[in-house]
Amino acid sequence: MNVHDPAEEIVALRAEVVQLRLLANNVPVAIAYFEARGYTCRFANLGYASMFGRDEQSVIGLTFAQIIGDEAARQIQPKVDTILREHRSASYERQLPAADGGTRWIEVSLLPHLDATGTAVGAFVLIADITHHRRAELALRESEERLAKFMHASAEGIVFHRGGIVTDANPPALALLGRTLPEVLGQPALDFVAPDQRERVGAVMAAGSEITYETAVQHRDGTRLPVEFIVRTMEHHGERLRMTIVRDLRDRMADQARIHHLAHHDALTGLPNRGAFIDRLEGLLPYARARGATLALLFIDLDHFKRVNDSLGHLAGDALLQTVAHRITSALRVGDLVARFGGDEFVVLLSGDQPAAAVREVAHKLLAVIGAPVEVEGASISVTPSIGISMFPQDGQTPDALIKHADTAMYHAKSRGRADCRFFEPVMAEAAYADLAMESRLAQAIRDREFVLHYQPQLSLHDGALVGCEALIRWAHPERGLILPDAFIPLAESRRLMLPIGDWVLREAVAQARRWHLAGLASVPIAVNLSTTQFQSVGFVDAVQRLLGEQGVEGRLLEIELTERMLMDELASVRDSLERLRALGVRIAVDDFGTGYTSLGHLKSLPVDRLKIDRSFIRDLPGDTGSAAIAGAVIQMAHGLGMRTLAEGVETAAQRDWVAARGCDELQGNLEAEPMPAAAFEDWLRARQSRQN
Ligand code: C2E
Ligand code: MG
Ligand code: MG
């Protein structure tokens, strides 16, 4: 700049001022200068002046309190004093109301102006509008807060990692890993994945896939935990972040395991059930066979367990069973298999290739531990077990055979006074021993009400009408299925078990007659077979009368079947009983007629409604002349005595036609219908009725 011509100088200076002003007014910063003394404004650019609603000229000479307001000045004064006193610059942020009614964020920098002597004579004020910046920051902070809130609120584990390095993890994720946040931050994410899964998870990370998959993490204590990963990629601070939701699969798997467990285990004791035991045994047999090894199967049944249940209640019974299960398990080796077959039956498989003597020792040990008194609800009770043992391979080649034989041996032990163990011997499989087993089981079946009645219709040969049905007992054995009466009735008769069974049959049949009658399904008599002991028992007729009265059933809906043999004793008392029954309306049939030696004269004096011709005569009709002669004679004779006849066991149309042609009144047999459970009988009745309509 040329300085000798003052006029030029002034022009030049003015030009400089104009340029400076231009510059000052066009920088995106508000600029002002205040004197230290009096805090008056000596310079302000347009930005500064307009920020406070003024212009560059009018702000000059005003104090900063006059410009920015007393309230703001009071807050800022200390900062100004500080920079002037300490000769340091300072900056602060504050909000200003914006022209649009919103808020402006400004960043203010204060710089001290020192003169040549180092005295602070003024202060430069530089103000930048940082509203945009603050808004962006705020938005970011809000979104991060949202994310943080979400992460913490999530019940599922969430882990963030950048380039494989963990940047954040929420409490559930940390709990799953057994770690604290500082322990995982900055660590490779793969470190927390189960070792066998690292390759796979690493591949997913490298590929950047957004997928959901099942894998496993590793807890600090080394436990491998099954999890599901749900992986997403996010943009965060301009970086690619990976978010992994870690879902604990233990519950889901525990559910599956529990379902599996329930299907294979007994809920009360947690022991494998019958099915699971048989599966395991089936799997073991080929190995034992190949190695020539011996296995021992112990069938354990508690003696008189039912009494505990009956006297102390089911809870006490359950507690006792749990104790017994625990005692059995504790007394055995780890490799031995224990199962509960239901009720009070436990089965043990000793797998250690043990000789009989060692097996006997184990059995005696079990007898001792199981029989020890148990505290149940304040009472000390003791139930002894009976144990039957079968050995593989000599006592059976299949699980079924081994179990059945151990079972048989167990009943044998029971019959020998209980609290004992017996090895299976082939002779036990013979009838006498089978009876023993059956007898013992039969008594239990009576208590447990394992019987059902099936009903077989009886039809008129004249018009096809339903004239009655016979109630036939079956034993619904829990393991052996339906057992027919011939297999247990003779035994029950000989062991005085027939009375309670017969009572039940009568009661059930009368109840059924009532239901069918009320339902309008059938108002025909239900025929009940009587056993000798039942018919001869004191007060039998009174009992029938009471039963009918209790149930409100007419006597005509009941028929009793007696065998010829039952009619032969003490004629007077038999006739008296029958007449009293007849008086109740109860009908009387003679069953299996032709097999006994009833004389005609004998029958004549008894109130009998019908004769049932034994099926052994029907079976060989019409070809067999002997059968034909007898059946024909029975029909004739019965008619002569005013009794109706029923042909039993009619299986073919030829048999039916033959007896019908001879004037037989009714038939019962598989040709028409086999004995059926009550529900099936009802279906049969309905189907028949709809056919007739
Ligand atoms: P039952 O009184 O002579 O009964 C008829 C038997 O013949 C039944 O055998 C029945 O299923 C069978 N039956 C019916 N139609 C045919 C056929 O067309 N062909 C063949 N082959 N058989 C047929 P179930 O049910 O096995 O009963 C056998 C015996 O057991 C009965 O002979 C009866 O004496 C006795 N019984 C059944 N239930 C009871 C009961 O509740 N108490 C008593 N004391 N004895 C009963
Ligand atoms: Mg019968
Ligand atoms: Mg019969």
pLDDT digits (tens, 9 = 90+) for 598-611: 665 677 788 999 99
Element of type H or E holding 327: helix 314-331
- pLDDT average, residue stretch 512-517: 94
Q: How far is the CA of 353 from the centre of ligand 2 (A)?
A: 52
Please give the number of the atom of ligand 1 that sits closest to the Cα of 612: 3
Q: Which residue's alpha carbon is at the smallest distance from atom 13 of ligand 1? A: 649
Amino acid at the residue 234:
M
The percentage of the chain sitting over the pLDDT mark of 90, rounded to a whole number, equals 41
Q: What is the mean pLDDT of residues 355-381?
A: 87
- Convert the pLDDT of each residue in 6-50 to its tens digit: 888 888 888 888 888 888 888 888 999 999 888 899 999 988 998
Residue that wins the pLDDT comparison between 83 and 496:
83
pLDDT of residue 253: 65
pLDDT at 345 over 90: yes
Query: Residue 563 CA: which ligand 1 atom is closest?
Result: 34
In the prediction, which pLDDT does 685 show?
Answer: 92
Ligand 1 atom closest to Cα of 493? 44
Coil/strand/helix, residue 15 = helix
Closest atom of ligand 1 to 651 CA is 18
Pocket test for ligand 1, best of 453, 458, 472 (most atoms within 8 A of CB): 472
pLDDT band at 659 (very low <50, low <70, confident <90, very high): very high
What's the CA-to-centroid distance between 406 and ligand 3, angstroms? 36
Model confidence pLDDT, tens digit, residues 427-486: 877 766 677 677 778 888 888 889 999 999 999 999 999 999 999 999 998 877 888 898
Q: Whose CA is nearest to atom 20 of ligand 1?
A: 649
**Distance, CA of 532 to CA of 493 (rounded, Å):** 8
Does the pLDDT of residue 597 top 80, yes or no? no
Residue ranges near ligand 3 (ion) with Cβ within 5 Å = 591-592, 648
The span from the CA of 462 to the CA of 664, in Å, is 9
Mean pLDDT of 547-563: 94
Distance CA(431)–CA(438), nearest Å, equals 10
Question: Using only C-alpha atoms, what is the Rg of the chain?
Answer: 51
From the CA of 589, the nearest ligand is 2
Residue 533 has what pLDDT? 85
The protein residue with its alpha carbon nearest to ligand 1, atom 35, reads 485
Burial 70-99 (b: 16+ CB within 10 A, else e): eeebeebeeebeebbeeeeeeeeeeebeee
Element (H, E) at 396: none
pTM, entire model: 0.50
Nearest CA to ligand 1 atom 33: 529
User: Per DSSP, what are the bridge partners of residue 67?
Assistant: none
Asked whether the predicted pLDDT for residue 181 surpasses 60, the reply is yes
Average pLDDT over residues 242-258: 76
Q: Please give the share of the chain, as a percent, with pLDDT higher than 70.
A: 94
CA 3 to chain centre: 104
Ligand that comes closest to the CA of residue 559: 2
- Cα(472) to ligand 1 centroid in Å equals 6
Identify whether the C-beta of residue 140 lies closer than 8 Å to the C-beta of residue 236: no
Name which of 406, 404, 366 is nearest 389 in CA terms: 406
CA 651 to centroid of ligand 3, rounded, Å: 14
Quote the tokens at residue 592. Answer: 């299996």
Q: Are 638 and 604 in contact (CB under 8 A)?
A: no
Cα–Cα distance measured from residue 163 to residue 161, given in angstroms and rounded to the nearest whole number: 6
Distance 528 CA to ligand 2 centre (A): 7
The pLDDT value given to residue 510 = 96
Give nearest CA residue, ligand 1 atom 45: 529
Ligand 1 first shell, C-beta below 6 A: 456, 472-473, 484-486, 489, 502, 505, 529-531, 561, 591-592, 615, 648-651, 669-670, 675
Place of tokens 């060692």: 358
| pLDDT at res. 260 | 67
The per-residue pLDDT of the chain, averaged, comes to: 87
Q: What is the pLDDT of residues 260-298, one digit of tens each?
A: 666 677 788 888 888 889 988 988 888 888 888 899 999
Q: Is 257 helix (H, G, I), strand (E, B) or coil?
A: helix
Query: What's the pLDDT score for residue 188?
Result: 95
Atom of ligand 1 nearest to the CA of 473: 38
For residue 455, the ligand closest to its alpha carbon is 1
Cα–Cα separations (whole angstroms), residue 487 to 428, 431, 475, 484, 678: 17, 11, 9, 6, 22
Q: What pLDDT score was predicted for residue 600? A: 57
117 or 240, which is more confident: 117
d(CA 404, CA 480): 10
Q: What is the mean pLDDT of residues 327-339?
A: 89
100: Cβ–Cβ under 8 A, 6 or more apart, which residues? none
